């Protein structure tokens, strides 16, 4: 049990990649706070994790775009579990459009969740982590934050910004033994990629050296590594989990 009794906060943890990460961490003994705007789903996921892995879990309604909601989330997790060891900034949305058609509202909504949300949550947990002189922050970035993608100016900019935030926080927090790293997934089978047509998925698979879309568990294993004792000399890095699509 590599994470026995550690406390992990997973934003957007009710489903998709966040849920898979929460399960991987729980499987190694971590207590899990599932934080999501989707309150009922967060409660369902927290219940499933508790039953499957016999760890304490907590479901919290949290909107990462609101600083006060993130502060409240950090407070409640500490009240319930006494500490916070791991933060996974996973909550994310897309609102795709070509730049010439993208509205200010589409731009703002995506930047608010994907980039400002990670800043808000990091700010809320960094003080207790600094006092403990230990912590892990894992930011779920994206392949398109590295290579860009037509139709995703808002999303790719938010993920590129998140990569820069990862590196800056890694530098700021290193002296307190808080390690900050990112994961840049390629195309992963979740609700986010569900709207792709079969033809689009086949075209994608054709340009992925491993010839398939990724599973949420592929990302979760990288998160588990970054959360655990085997990565104690790694900070400010972004691990690509993309089947070789971008090298």
Catalytically active residues, by annotation: 155
Residues of span 70-99 touching ligand NAP by CB under 6 A: 90-93
Least Å distance, CB 4 to ligand NAP, is: 26
d(CA 89, CA 62): 12
Report the run of H or E that residue 32 belongs to, with start and end.
strand 31-36
Q: How many CB atoms lie within 10 A of CB 3?
A: 24
> Which of 57, 65, 154, 231 is close enough to bind ligand NAP by CB under 6 A?
65
Least Å distance, CB 169 to ligand NAP, is: 16
d(CA 247, CA 242): 9
**What phi and psi values does residue 31 have, to the nearest 5 degrees?**
-85, 140
Secondary structure class of 86 (helix, strand, coil): strand
Using CB under 6 A as the criterion, what x/- string covers residues 184-223 for binding ligand NAP? -x-xx-xxxx------------------------------
Confirm if 191 and 17 have CB atoms less than 8 A apart: no
Token pair of 23 as six digits? 């399960």
Stretch of residues binding ligand NAP (CB under 6 A), selected from 9-17, 49-57, 72-80, 223-231:
9-17
Least Å distance, CB 12 to ligand NAP, is: 3
**What phi and psi values does residue 234 have, to the nearest 5 degrees?**
-120, 120
240 binds ligand NAP (CB under 6 A): no
The site for ligand NAP (CB under 6 A) is made up of 11-12, 14-18, 36-38, 62-65, 90-93, 113, 117, 140, 142, 185, 187-188, 190-193
């Amino acid at each position: 049990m590599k994470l026995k009794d550690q406390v992990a906060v997973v934003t957007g943890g009710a489903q998709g990649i966040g849920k898979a990460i929460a399960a991987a961490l729980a499987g190694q003994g971590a207590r899990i706070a599932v934080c999501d705007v989707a309150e009922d789903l967060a409660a369902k996921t927290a219940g499933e994790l508790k039953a499957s892995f016999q760890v304490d879990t907590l479901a919290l309604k949290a909107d990462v775009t609101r600083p006060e909601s993130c502060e409240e989330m950090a407070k409640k997790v500490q009240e319930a579990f006494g500490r916070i060891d791991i933060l996974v900034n996973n909550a994310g949305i897309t609102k795709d459009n070509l730049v010439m058609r993208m509205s200010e509202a589409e731009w703002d909504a995506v930047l608010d969740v994907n980039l400002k949300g990670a800043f808000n949550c990091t700010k809320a947990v960094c003080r207790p982590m600094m006092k403990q002189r230990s912590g892990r922050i894992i930011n779920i970035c994206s392949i398109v934050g590295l290579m860009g993608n037509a139709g995703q100016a808002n999303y790719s900019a938010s993920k590129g910004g998140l990569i820069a935030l990862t590196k800056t926080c890694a530098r700021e927090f290193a002296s307190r033994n808080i390690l900050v790293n990112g994961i840049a997934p390629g195309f992963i089978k979740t609700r986010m990629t569900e709207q792709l047509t079969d033809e689009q998925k086949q075209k994608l698979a054709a340009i992925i050296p491993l010839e398939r879309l990724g599973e949420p568990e592929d990302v979760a294993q990288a998160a588990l590594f970054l959360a655990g004792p085997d990565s104690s000399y790694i900070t400010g890095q972004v691990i690509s989990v993309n089947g070789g699509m971008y090298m």
